[in-house]
Structure 1
Amino acid sequence: MIRSNNGFKDRSMGCVAMRVVVVMPARNEELLICDSIQSIPEIVDWIVVVDDGSKDDTKAKAEVVLESRGEVISTSGLGVGGAIRVGCQHTLARFGRDCVVVIMAGDGQMDPADLDAIIEPVINHLADHVKGNRWLHPDGPKGMPLVRKMGTWWLSRLTSLAAGIKIRDSQCGYTATSGDMLSIWDWENNWEGYGYPNWWLMQAGRKSFRVAEVPVRSIYGSEQSGISIPRFFLSVSFMLWKGVWARGVDWYILSSETKPFTKLKVSGLWFISWSSFLAAIYLPWALIIPIISFPYLALLDNKESKRRTRQRGSWQ
Structure 2
Amino acid sequence: MGRCVALIPAYNEAATIADLIRRVRAQLAEVIVVDDGSHDATAAEAGRLDVQLIRHAENAGKGTSLIDGLAAARTAGFDAVVTLDADGQHRTRDIPRLLSWAAPDMLVLGSRVHDTAEMPRARRIANRIAGFFISWAAGQRIGDTQCGLRVYPGGLVDRLDLPARRSGFVFESEVLIEAARRGWRIVEVPVPAVYPARPPRHSYYRPLADTLAITAMVTGKLLARGFDPAGLVRVLRADRRHGTVDAEHRP
Match of 1:218 among 193, 200, 213: 193
Structure 1 position 185, deviation (Å): 3.2
Percent identity over paired residues: 27
Is the CA contact (8 Å cut-off) linking 1:191 and 1:199 kept in structure 2? no
Structure-1 residue corresponding to 2:217: 239
CA 210–57 in structure 1, closer or farther in 2 if over 3 Å, else same: same
CA 105–299 in structure 1, closer or farther in 2 if over 3 Å, else same: closer
Larger Rg: 1
Structure-2 residue corresponding to 1:21: 5
CA 127–115 in structure 1, closer or farther in 2 if over 3 Å, else same: farther
Structure-2 residue corresponding to 1:101: 81
Instruction: Show the 5 A alignment for 1:52-71.
Output: 52-64=36-48, 66-67=49-50, 70-71=51-52
CA 101–171 in structure 1, closer or farther in 2 if over 3 Å, else same: same
Structure 1 position 223, deviation (Å): 3.7
Match of 2:148 among 173, 187, 207: 173
Instruction: Show the 5 A alignment for 1:150-165.
Output: 150-165=125-140
Structure 1 position 237, deviation (Å): 2.2
Q: Which has the higher contact order (CA 8 A, sep 6+)?
A: 2
Structure-1 residue corresponding to 2:249: none
- TM (normalized to structure 1)? 0.67
Give the distance between the partners of 2:47 and 2:33, measured in 1 at CA.
9
Give the distance between the partners of 1:296 and 1:77, measured in 2 at CA.
36
Is the CA contact (8 Å cut-off) linking 2:107 and 2:186 kept in structure 1? yes
Q: Secondary structure at the match of 1:39?
A: helix
The one-letter code matched in structure 2 to 1:185 is L
Is the CA contact (8 Å cut-off) linking 1:22 and 1:101 kept in structure 2? yes
1:149 partnered with 2:131: no
Is the CA contact (8 Å cut-off) linking 1:151 and 1:233 kept in structure 2? no
Is the CA contact (8 Å cut-off) linking 1:27 and 1:52 kept in structure 2? yes
Give the distance between the partners of 1:300 and 1:92, measured in 2 at CA.
33
1:298 partnered with 2:250: no
Structure 1 position 104, deviation (Å): 0.8
Per-residue CA shift, 1:14-50, capped at 9, x if unaligned? Answer: xxx5111011000111111111111114331310000
Is the CA contact (8 Å cut-off) linking 2:137 and 2:231 kept in structure 1? no
Structure 1, unaligned runs of 5 or more: 1-16, 250-266, 271-293, 303-316
Divergent runs of 4+, >4 A: 294-297, 299-302
Structure 2, unaligned runs of 5 or more: 238-251
- TM (normalized to structure 2)? 0.83
Structure 1 position 107, deviation (Å): 1.1
